[in-house]
Structure 1
Amino acid sequence: MKKTIKALKFPVVFLLVLSSFIACDKDFSVVESDVLGEQNLNFKTDTLSFQIAAYNKKLEALQINGLSSNLLGVYNDPAYGQTIASIITQLTPTTYSPDFGDNTVIDSVVMSIPYFSRSTGTDANGNTTYTISDSLYGKKSDGTIKPFNLTIYQNNYFLRSFDPNAGLDETQKYYSKADGSINTTDNFASNGSSVINFDNNKGAAIYTNASFIPSSNPIKTSVGEGTEKVTTSSAPAFRTKLDAAFWKAAIIDKEGDAVLSNDDNFKNYFRGLYFKAEAVAGDGSMVLLNLASTNANITIHYSKDSTVEGERTQSTYVLNFTGNILNTFINNYSSVTLQDGDKTLGDEKLYLKGAEGSMAVVDLFSGMVDYTDKNGVTTSIPALEAFKKTYRTLLENGDYKKDDNDNYILKRFINDAQLIVYEDVDLDTDGNSDLHKYDRIYAYDLENNTQLIDYNYDPTVANTTTPYFSTYFHLGLRSTNAGISKYKIHLTEHLNNILLSDSTNTKIGLVLSSNVNKLNSAKIMNSSTSDEVTSVPAVSIITPRGTILYGTNSSVPANRKMKLKVFFTEPK
């Protein structure tokens, strides 16, 4: 808790500057009546709400290779059900055609994969302490971590680098198949044309732990002996010794063989590893692994004859976790049935769930609305057209007036636009009031599969140590008051872009994100340009939790319904 409070303490000057960006009803009232007096102003300020529709989009067949990090383990979401995440990864040697020397003996084989951790201070001995809680899911009520069953197999399925059914040099994409329609025990993926069962392609088990628990303890490494012994400490990682006999047969004994001569030969020969997670008594925990780290590898420590007679030389052979890395999922959503929603009327509840789950689509200008022109004539017109007529300057012939740069001239200036999003007060948290405390909602441009323009104008900086505190003006932070949880997503520049440049990006996507600094997209299999949703933010796939929001259907209470509020200034 102390860390959270400390992170929110900003300089007073910065808070004053930031507050100048934030508009609300009270702010306008104070400016007009208390400072200048409305009779002395040559402009007025006001607020309008616009008709929007928010509905669910079920997500299936999402790209699961090329992710920035990878989930491993078991997570039971109180509101949704269980997700199990496993990993299939290729390995890449740091050198090819190795010379292991004479009389080679393996001393040890060590696998190390860093967790995502941050420093929390130092202990009584001055050693750095860490936490992995930001990327760990599934603690018990007393704070202890739930175990899961982990087995690492040799993978015998060849993960190709390029798609033979696509254009020249187009990389192969692998897609999720997590619905359990075949069975709920095996891990599946699709390459776009066929379904792969990795359990039917597993080789020897090289590691087994029936009660695996991710740890935030630092890694201690010692070199030397006696008074010469030096111990160093490094950030938490999944670090373990592997069976030397397996790696001797797989690598050392292949010296001089063509399978170790280049990347293609090696990946066809040694097709990688399959990290399979399984529940323990129906439960477990889930953790993010940083396989992209330069410290993620398998290191074979060995000795060989030295050029000096009677002495031995120590050496290493390193295999990195690079190449294709897939994150497979098995979902058992026992509490919620995910399906596409009502595009016209909107949905009552919006389901945001990662790991091949669901997202929300928000149509900012939905359907037909009544519009009254300057002559007092009211007609029913599209909501987007009514928005433009309300804010743009009209010519006598009905066209919109433009400036010399071909931008539309406005008669009303948008000071702030807020998408107000309320969280379901009945959301099941299994009694943990902090379960969704650090959730982030990421809003993105559905047409271009990228961040909204407001993201680029956000005055808050990216926080790489604690991503929760990044881009929190545009995307907002979850606020709770009097039992009401809500988010304010600022869309000021997005709406201005529609008005000034005639942008057609009127639909945005909402997903749950564990790191709003990550902006790359993951494709949806067989999607086309005619589809409403063709990609999702990749980080939403590796977000195992889910939340439930109120939508825009008429059944939603007025004080909980998602709304778009626009604060504007208009010359008198």
Structure 2
Amino acid sequence: MKKTIKSLKFPVIFLLLVCAFIACDKDYSVIESDVLGDENSDFNTKDSLWSVTAYNKKLDSLQINNLGTTSSAATASNLLGVFNDPAYGLTTASIVSQLVPVENSPEFGENPVVDSVVLNIPYFSTVVDYDEDNNPEYELDSLFGDDTKPIKLTIYRNNYFLRDFDPSQAENNKQNYYSNGSNTVNAALNGTSVIKFDDHIDNLNSPIYSEASFIPSKDVVITTVGEGDNEVSTNSSPAFRVKLDEDYWKTTIIDMEGDPVLASANNFKNYFRGLYFKAESITSEGSMILLNIAASNANITIYYTSGADGSRLQYNYIMNFSGNILNTFVNNYNITLQNGDKTLGDDNLYLKGTEGSMAVVELFSGKVDCDGDGVLDLDAIDCFKQRYRQLDDNGNYIKDPLTNRYELKKLINEAQLVLTEADNLPNGGDEDYHKYDRIYAYSIENNAPTLDYTIDPTTNTTDPLNSKVINLGQRNDDGVFKIRLTQHLNNILYTDSIAAETPRKIGLVLSNNVNYIDNAEILDSGDEVLAVPRASILAPRGTILYGSSQSVMDDEKRLQLKIFSSEAKN
């Protein structure tokens, strides 16, 4: 018997994968019994709606250090700029980053002279065409807002030490930093105090760099350093690339040769505590860009010559953006975000990135009339199990002793969480503004993807917009999203528990990269939502969905849990 089961294992898995591919459709087709004619079918098929309660969770005090550094699906990245979401209002994102030299205890040689100092941080970009000389033309992948509206950008030397370990913890736990976006200043929390970065600048009137009218450019960057025989030109893809003051960096770095501050990364980080990129709005509009700040070519490079007269050579000293890197957010929303009604649910669900809001959906919530006598007398989750599981003569669920799984009398063909965007959702005059929104759904109980996400074969590592489209359905032209939860619900029916709890709470966030599923901790959350996907912090856009409240008068637009099932005919 055991050998037979083993032999069937792989064909069954293959069949399931084939079915998954067949179902790879934005609207999830369901094969009804009338394909062969109802009289020729041995199964009855039907669909049903099940109770859900969906409510808002206001997000604040989110972990904002080292965003994107621990997942192979995402390169370390941070937001910089000003973004005005048509529905929510203005968000300003600034960056604080440490620098780490490539070389310790450098020797700069005889009579070093700084030729130039270049700061370079790549943008995320894609080649879209080539000009007549076969030079690539680029588009910026992660530019939000109006790319013609400038912002004010100022870079300061940060004097606040970003420590690596949390001294309040008994063990050597890493120090996390958390958002404080409800304030009107660039600030972060370290768990015990508020850090206002403007207060840790020697002189706000003496920045390292300042641009009164900054706009990210998609042009190829051509940079020339040195003079005469030492002149070198380099071409690079679109990047934030500027020249800095030579005298400042000669005094700060070159003249410190032999000093212990250049002897190790730790010494250097304590001496030069990093840079503070401060973004400010000029008008009510602006643009925000995702910087690839931990790329191998994201750095400050000091180009210098040294040596005796007549035999001077060109050298460079490189400081990479590394160590602690964090975002700060200043939010001026025109919508008041708050925690929702966990009992009755909310009329609207607010999904807003950076430090905004998410939704929690409790599946099979409340009591229902399971036996049809007109009385709400049974918990919905228990009714769900009774409808789908096999019962013995004593009314107990039958469990297969070999697999330790409950036996089912009805099969779930498809389970969908159906979400609809609110009517007249502001789009700033751009009819395609919400067209490419993606919603990421995850299990709140274990802060992990659903099983449907895990087995979804449509992963696309190079194009997140078209990745995981079976589990996380793409928005259709009517503003409808369908989140597939078939295997998630099957797991409830078959096993009854994950981590000793029935996993019935689903978190919904807006995401620019559904491949990136690492979590960011919430400081002192106050409820069961202890973390959020980091990708949602890097998504400045927002959307508004209809909730589950009975106040949503249109039943078709109210959030729905729809199950398509099959049952053998008697």
Normalising by structure 2, we get a TM-score of: 0.90
* CA drift at 1:526: 2.1
Q: In the TM superposition, what is the alpha-carbon distance from 1:259 to its structure 2 partner?
A: 0.6
**Mapped partners of 2:461, 2:171: distance in 1:** 38
Contact 2:115 2:226 in 1 (8 A): no
TM-fit CA distance, 1:24: 7.6
CA gap 1:405/1:107 in 2 versus in 1, 3 angstroms: same
Aligned to 1:360: 359
Corresponding residue of 2:142? 135
Q: Give distance in 2, aligned partners of 1:90 and 1:304.
A: 28
Aligned position for 1:273: 275
Give 3-state SS (helix, strand or coil) of 2:412's partner. strand
Report the Cα distance in structure 2 between the residues aligned to 1:398 and 1:15, rounded to whole angstroms.
36
CA distance in 2, matches of 1:109, 1:366: 61
Work out whether residues 153 and 210 of structure 2, in 8 Å CA contact, stay in contact via their aligned partners in 1: yes
Residue pair 1:367, 1:383 contacting (<8 A) in 2 also: yes
Within 5 Å, which residues of 2 pair with 1:384-395? 384-395=381-392
Which residue of 1 is the match for residue 485 of structure 2? 491
What is the Cα deviation at residue 121 of structure 1? 1.8
SS at match of 1:246: helix
Using the TM superposition, give the Cα deviation of residue 27 of structure 1 relative to its aligned residue in structure 2, in angstroms. Answer: 4.3
How far apart are 1:210 and its partner, in Å? 0.4
Deviations 1:549-571 (A, max 9, x none): 00011111112101011111111
Deviation at 1:434, TM superposition (A): 1.2
Return the alpha-carbon distance in structure 1 between the equivalents of residues 187 and 27 of structure 2.
Answer: 49
Q: By how many angstroms is 1:49 displaced? A: 1.0
Distance 1:54 1:149, change over 3 A: same
Aligned residue number for residue 210 of structure 1: 212
1:116 positional shift = 0.8
Contact 1:552 1:562 in 2 (8 A): yes
Following superposition, the deviation at residue 228 of structure 1 comes to 11
Query: Partner amino acid for 1:122?
Result: Y
- The reply on whether 1:145 has 2:148 as its aligned counterpart is yes
Q: Tell me which amino acid in the other structure corresponds to 1:537.
A: P
Residue 126 (structure 2) aligns with: 118
Q: 1:177 aligns with which of 177, 180, 184?
A: 180
Aligned twin of 2:558: 561
- Secondary structure of the equivalent of 1:468? helix
For the 8 Å contact 1:151–1:208, the answer to whether it is kept is: yes
The one of 6, 18, 21 aligned to 1:18? 21
Over the matched positions of the two proteins, sequence identity in percent amounts to: 53
Residues 473 and 260 of structure 1: CA distance in aligned 2, closer, same or farther (over 3 Å):
same
For residues 121-520 of structure 1, the aligned pairs below 5 Å read 121-132=129-140, 134-139=141-146, 144-180=147-183, 184=184, 186-203=185-202, 204-221=206-223, 233-305=235-307, 310-334=310-334, 336-372=335-371, 380-403=377-400, 404-464=402-462, 466-480=463-477, 484-503=478-497, 504-520=502-518
Task: Indicate the SS of the match to 1:165.
Answer: coil
Q: Name the SS of the counterpart of 1:90 in structure 2.
A: strand
For structure 1, the residue ranges without an aligned partner over 5 or more in a row are 1-13
**Matches of 2:158 and 2:231, distance apart in 1:** 38
Cα deviations by residue, 1:174-230 (Å, 9 ceiling, x for unpaired): 0000112xxx2x211100000010000023410000000001111224589999988
SS where residue 384 of structure 1 aligns? helix
Letter in 2 for 1:187: N
The amino acid of 1:342's aligned partner reads D
Unaligned runs of 5+ in 2: 1-16, 69-76
Query: C-alpha root-mean-square deviation of aligned residues, in Å?
Result: 2.3
Cα deviations across residues 444-486 of structure 1 (Å, max 9, x unaligned)?
Answer: 111111211111111212232x321111111011111xxx311
Equivalent position of 2:90 in the other structure = 82
CA distance in 2: counterparts of 1:380 and 1:424, whole angstroms: 33
Residue 539 of structure 1 aligns with which residue? 535
Paired with 2:338 and 2:540, the residues of 1 have a C-alpha distance of 18
Q: Deviations over 1:291-313 (max 9, x none)?
A: 1211100001111106xx72101
Sort the Cα spacing of 1:28 and 1:470 in 2 relative to 1 into closer, same or farther, 3 A. Answer: closer
Separation in 2 of the partners of 1:513 and 1:90? 27
- The normalised TM-score by structure 1 is 0.90
Tell me, what secondary structure is at the counterpart of 2:54?
A: strand
Q: Offset at 1:231?
A: 5.7
Residues in 1 aligned to 2:67 and 2:166: alpha-carbon distance in whole angstroms: 18
Q: How far apart are 1:18 and its partner, in Å?
A: 3.5
The 1:246–1:26 alpha-carbon spacing in structure 2 relative to 1, beyond 3 Å, is: closer
Amino acid at match of 1:570: E
Shift of 1:355: 1.3
Q: CA deviation at 1:22?
A: 5.4
**1:33 aligned counterpart, secondary structure:** helix
C-alpha spacing 1:261/1:416, structure 2 compared with 1 (3 Å): same
Distance 2:380 2:538 in 1: 36
* Change beyond 3 A, Cα 1:21–1:410: farther
Deviation at 1:233, TM superposition (A): 3.3
**Which residue is 1:96 aligned to?**
104
CA contact (8 A) 2:23 2:470 kept: no
Q: Deviations over 1:357-405 (max 9, x none)?
A: 00000001111111119xx897611111111111111122222111112
CA 379–436 in structure 1, closer or farther in 2 if over 3 Å, else same: closer
**Contact 1:22 1:416 survives alignment (8 Å):** no
Deviation at residue 288 of structure 1 after TM alignment: 0.4
Cα distance in 1 for partners of 2:515, 2:27 equals 27
Matches of 1:364 and 1:518, distance apart in 2: 25
CA contact (8 A) 2:62 2:522 kept: yes
Separation of aligned partners in 2, 1:24 and 1:195:
47
Find the aligned partners of 1:542 and 1:162 in 2 and give their Cα distance.
24
